[in-house]
Structure 1
Amino acid sequence: MKKFLLVFLLNSFLFADLIMDVVGEQEVLPKIQILTNTQANAEFDNILRNDVLVSAIFDISTDSNADYFLYYSLKDSDDKYDLELTLKDAKLQTKYYTKLKYPKDMYAFLSHKAISNMVKELNLTNVDWMNKKILLTRKVAAKQSQIVLADYTLSYQKVILQGGLNLFAKWADDEEKAFYYSDYSQDELKIYKYNIANNTKNLIVSGNGMLALSDVKADKALITMTNSDQPDVFLFDLNTKNAKRLTSYKGIDVGAKFIGDNSFVFISDRSSYPNIYMQALNSNNASQLVYHGKNNSAFDVFNEYVVYSSRESEGDFNLYLMSVNNQFVRQLTLNGRNIFPIFSKDGETIMFIKLLGNQSSLGILRLKENKVFHFPLKIGKISTLDW
């Protein structure tokens, strides 16, 4: 396809408050017109269009000379919605057809499933991450937060836990049936495991100072706990509740995540500012990973890659991507405060928090496509997220 270069472009779309940033070289995509033969459900129509845009396979057009036509029919069926979706090319030959049924309150996921199935079965791309539930903590008042289940567009939101200061929600596994979180409401801090199906919680560990579970692998977890007035990283056995101290620096070591089978990455102030380090699970020697920026206080890992947030001289925070095997660094965002990045399971998409004044948005960054999408949170402020 013919290509052109965009240094920076900001588009504000009228549907679902979607904002898109485009950075770098972009392909000219085939145009698609979206049509429905039923009375339009404005909210569903917005989400469907956003899904098509975020898949980064088509440009949406109102032109009857589009390359493709996507027809959908959404019907009310008792407590569910029935969806029929048909994709045709410019010659009106059917390329894809499906029928789906979802509960009404899950209509956002009905759209996500329909579009992710379509682009995958056509061998165009894989955006199955759209179907994942997002686990976010939302600040609603002083010392008050909520733990919320959401879809990636924030169109679906369900409060799971509220009352007090509950932070650092982290999925327990890929099944999305339970999560860990830190309760900061009392003098003694606690980490709980919360079962969504029966709304019960089990105490994992308690302590004073900072206490947060940052990563889980099988029956092991990496936890930040305060030891001798300073937070350190511990390897925690979720079955035996035994904790092994991994760092012993007389400063701040927090937010560790597993990388590979035998190492972990974490944030430390060993550089006199928050920076990112790597250490083997069976060693006390930490090595500095990042030599860029002066406040690298949030990151995630996928295979050998690390995505991190770094403060710029202008006060912005931008996202950068690097490999632990070389020093090449790729800038991913251009402006604003972009923090708390998290990789998708396939490593091709990054979710993050974007702060604009007193408002926060959930960001979706497509690595290969060089596109970033923001979905503003209208009530409260996102503190942390996981997917």
Structure 2
Amino acid sequence: MKIFLTLITLFTLAFSDATIEVIKKVESLPSFGVEDSSKSYDNTFRLKFFKSLIADLNVISIFNVDRHHRVVDYDDENVDVENKEKNFVLRYQLLEGDSGALNLDLKLFRDNEQVLSKKYKISRKEIYMFVSHAIAYDINKYMGEPSVEWMKRKVIFSRVVKPKKSEIVIADYTLTYQHVIVNGGFNVFPKWANKEQSAFYYTSLDGLKPTLKRVDVKTAKIKTIISSDGMMICSDVSDDAKTLLLTMAMDGQPDVYTYNVNSKKYKRVTKYGGIDVNAQFMERDKIVFISNRLGYPNVFSKKLGSGEVEQMVYYGNSNSACSGHGEYIVYKARESSNAFSRNTFNLHLISTKTDFIRRLTATGVNEFPRFSKDGDAILFIKNYKAQSSIGIIRLNYNKNYLFPLKYGRVQSMDW
């Protein structure tokens, strides 16, 4: 009985503390097949959609997904003979609708019995990947797994295309869909302005002073918010979208400020004589930020309205970026000291309630970590061998996925 209770305790800890690695063997996952019954569109587009769907089903990390493209009739009562032994089979058909709309009908079979059916529709086929993401989200929900709402959210990033020239791009999380919304000039550090992703902030470096601007996504209208000598970055936005965390250098050295969106007034939060930057909300009245008050960059926390500052990380030589969610902090740490070649920067996860440290990456320069809204996943930038990618870390499944950028370099991004 004592051994049995110990095992229960270990499993409880593993699934309640994200700093403990959870490894699921592929062989233990349910098998999953996909069948294509499409009647519209050419073979090239059909295969493109199939590959997108397979990728999304792999990212939710709960199935052993068969990559074979099998074509069947949508009204067949039984699954394809090659899928007969699969635990789950998804069958879909793409249909072209009026005015170029893309329609999709779907059936899900479990042990050869239909258990789910759904219909999807989007205005044009070019944004097919969002249907693929929605299907994976719905399958994950049907299985009773933790939400993957982040799959349906858009990513915004700044892409450097030449010296002092950049584009701000809105994309899906796989970078398959990309829409340049701001170009011309040097515009960096985009940040979503609200949960609805209907607007965003960014820093313009084209004027005499770095200037924070706000863009309405629907109308593309740009509004100037505030300027500062030396530095101006919106590093985070409160859940109610009413408070911004800014890095400004009003007195020559960068400090963290709060900015009230309604009153348009700012308030200084840190008053250290060195560098305080990149603040993130952990709770409504608590932030984490990067400071060099130890002589090198490290992660600290502070309650708003309090003068006390607490060191959060005790591992790493140069911890220069972080993101917080509840009790967890993910941070970037330098792990090499090469004088004549690029150093390795990896991401690590800690909990404020335990002493565990979990390394999340292994090679290259990994930076700009961002938690998903539900804390289930981490988005980050990876630069390795002249290739810039956006990565996804599934914390509860111990899996990483990379989506390379076709050209340019990702400067910063938000989710």
Q: Same fold (TM over 0.5)?
A: yes
Question: Structure 1: which amino acid aligns with 2:150?
Answer: W
Structure (1 or 2) with the greater strand fraction: 1
Residue 24 of structure 1 and its aligned partner are, at CA, apart by 6.0
Residues 260-289 of structure 1 deviation map (CA, whole Å, 9 limit, x = unaligned):
222211101112111111112112332211
The answer to whether structure 1 residue 25 and structure 2 residue 48 are counterparts is no
Is this contact kept in 1: 2:231–2:247, CA < 8 A? yes
**Structure-1 residue corresponding to 2:409:** 381
Displacement over 4 Å in runs of 4+: none
Question: Structure 2: which amino acid aligns with 1:191?
Answer: L
The answer to whether structure 1 residue 176 and structure 2 residue 197 are counterparts is yes
Residue 125 of structure 1 and its aligned partner are, at CA, apart by 4.0
2:314 pairs with 282, 291, 305, which one? 291
Residue 243 of structure 1 and its aligned partner are, at CA, apart by 1.4
Deviates more, 1:309-318 or 1:154-163: 309-318
Looking at structure 2, the residues matched to 279 and 375 of structure 1 have their Cα atoms a distance apart, in angstroms, of 35
The answer to whether structure 1 residue 71 and structure 2 residue 91 are counterparts is yes
Is this contact kept in 1: 2:37–2:91, CA < 8 A? yes
Residue 294 of structure 1 and its aligned partner are, at CA, apart by 1.0
Looking at structure 1, the residues matched to 268 and 90 of structure 2 have their Cα atoms a distance apart, in angstroms, of 55
**Structure-2 residue corresponding to 1:304:** 327
Question: Structure 2: which amino acid aligns with 1:115?
Answer: A
Looking at structure 1, the residues matched to 49 and 175 of structure 2 have their Cα atoms a distance apart, in angstroms, of 13
SS of corresponding position for 1:233: strand
Matches within 5 A, 1:83-102: 83-90=104-111, 92-102=112-122
| Matched residue count | 364
- Summarize the Cα distance change of 1:156–1:149 in structure 2 as closer, same or farther, 3 Å threshold: same
- Summarize the Cα distance change of 1:262–1:126 in structure 2 as closer, same or farther, 3 Å threshold: closer
RMSD: 1.6
2:209 pairs with 188, 208, 214, which one? 188
- Summarize the Cα distance change of 1:124–1:232 in structure 2 as closer, same or farther, 3 Å threshold: closer
Is this contact kept in 1: 2:92–2:104, CA < 8 A? yes
SS of corresponding position for 2:137: helix
Question: Structure 2: which amino acid aligns with 1:26?
Answer: K
Residues 226-274 of structure 1 deviation map (CA, whole Å, 9 limit, x = unaligned):
1322111111111222111111211111011122222211101112111
**Structure-1 residue corresponding to 2:64:** 59
SS of corresponding position for 2:255: strand
Question: Structure 1: which amino acid aligns with 2:280?
Answer: K
**Structure-1 residue corresponding to 2:287:** 264
**Structure-2 residue corresponding to 1:113:** 134
Structure (1 or 2) with the greater helix fraction: 2
1:238 pairs with 248, 261, 266, which one? 261
Over the matched positions of the two proteins, sequence identity in percent amounts to 38
Is this contact kept in 1: 2:228–2:250, CA < 8 A? no
Is this contact kept in 1: 2:22–2:396, CA < 8 A? no
SS of corresponding position for 1:338: strand
**Structure-1 residue corresponding to 2:55:** 50
Gaps of 5+ in 1: 1-22
Looking at structure 2, the residues matched to 134 and 79 of structure 1 have their Cα atoms a distance apart, in angstroms, of 26
**Structure-2 residue corresponding to 1:34:** 34
**TM-score, with length taken from structure 1:** 0.90
**TM-score, with length taken from structure 2:** 0.84
Question: Structure 2: which amino acid aligns with 1:250?
Answer: G
Is this contact kept in 2: 1:305–1:322, CA < 8 A? yes
SS of corresponding position for 1:46: helix
Is this contact kept in 1: 2:190–2:414, CA < 8 A? yes
**Structure-2 residue corresponding to 1:138:** 159
The answer to whether structure 1 residue 227 and structure 2 residue 250 are counterparts is yes
Question: Structure 1: which amino acid aligns with 2:355?
Answer: Q
**Structure-1 residue corresponding to 2:12:** none
SS of corresponding position for 2:191: strand
**Structure-1 residue corresponding to 2:296:** 273
Q: Could you say which structure has the larger radius of gyration?
A: 2
Residues 171-211 of structure 1 deviation map (CA, whole Å, 9 limit, x = unaligned):
11011110111101122111011111111111110121010
SS of corresponding position for 2:393: strand
Is this contact kept in 2: 1:263–1:279, CA < 8 A? yes
Is this contact kept in 2: 1:96–1:118, CA < 8 A? no
Residue 124 of structure 1 and its aligned partner are, at CA, apart by 3.5
Question: Structure 1: which amino acid aligns with 2:296?
Answer: Y
Question: Structure 2: which amino acid aligns with 1:245?
Answer: R
Is this contact kept in 2: 1:306–1:321, CA < 8 A? yes
- Summarize the Cα distance change of 1:229–1:124 in structure 2 as closer, same or farther, 3 Å threshold: closer
**Structure-2 residue corresponding to 1:334:** 362
